[in-house]
C-alpha cells in the first residue's frame, strides 16, 4: 500500500464517524420530543458503513452505505393535559435510549480521534523520512 493511502483511509473513516456523530446528536436532541400521532414521531437515524477494498484485497477506506431509520414503535404515553394529545389523551415519543446514544457518541468520537492520530503519526513519519536525506 502506498504511504499516501493512509491519508485516504483515515480521511474516509473520519468522514464516516462525523456522519455517525451527527446522526447520534440528532437522536439525542429528539429523544424527548412528543407528537400527537404515532405516524409523525421522530425516527432514530443510524449510519451504515462498509470497508472499501482495492484490487489487492487491501482495505482502502470506509464507505458510508447510507443512513437508515429505526423501525422501533414509538412509546405511547398517557398525558391528557398535553395540548397535542390525541382523542384518547396519548402522546407519542420515539423509543430512543439516551444512554445508548451517548455510548455511540463516545465511540464515534474516539474513532474519529484515533484516525486524527493516525494521520498525525503518518505525517510525522513522512517528515522524519525527509529529514534523513539532510
The 3-class secondary structure across the chain, one letter per residue, is CCCCHHHHHHHHHHHHHHHHHHHHHHHHHHCCCCECCHHHCCCCEEEEEEEEECCCCCEEEEEEEEEEECCCCCEEEECCCCCCCCCCCEEEECCCCHHHHHHHHHHHHHHHHHHHHHHHHHHHHHHHHHHHCC
**What whole-number percentage of the chain has pLDDT above 70?**
99
Residue-wise pLDDT tens digits, 66-107: 999 999 999 999 999 999 999 999 999 999 999 999 999 999
Domain ranges of the chain: 5-129
Q: Which range, 45-49, 59-63, 122-126, is most confident?
A: 45-49
Mean pLDDT of the chain: 92
Average pLDDT over residues 13-41: 95
Amino acid at each position: 500500500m502506498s504511504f499516501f493511502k493512509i491519508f485516504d483511509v483515515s480521511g474516509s473513516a473520519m468522514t464516516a464517524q462525523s456522519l455517525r456523530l451527527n446522526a447520534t446528536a440528532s437522536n439525542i436532541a429528539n429523544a424527548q420530543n412528543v407528537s400527537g400521532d404515532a405516524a409523525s414521531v421522530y425516527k432514530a437515524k443510524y449510519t451504515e458503513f462498509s470497508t472499501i477494498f482495492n484490487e489487492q484485497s487491501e482495505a482502502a477506506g470506509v464507505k458510508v452505505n447510507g443512513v437508515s431509520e429505526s423501525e422501533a414503535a414509538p412509546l405511547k404515553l398517557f398525558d391528557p393535559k398535553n395540548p397535542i394529545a390525541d382523542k384518547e389523551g396519548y402522546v407519542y415519543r420515539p423509543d430512543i435510549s439516551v444512554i445508548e446514544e451517548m455510548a455511540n457518541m463516545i465511540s464515534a468520537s474516539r474513532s474519529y480521534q484515533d484516525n486524527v492520530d493516525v494521520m498525525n503519526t503518518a505525517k510525522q513519519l513522512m517528515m522524519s523520512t525527509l529529514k534523513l536525506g539532510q
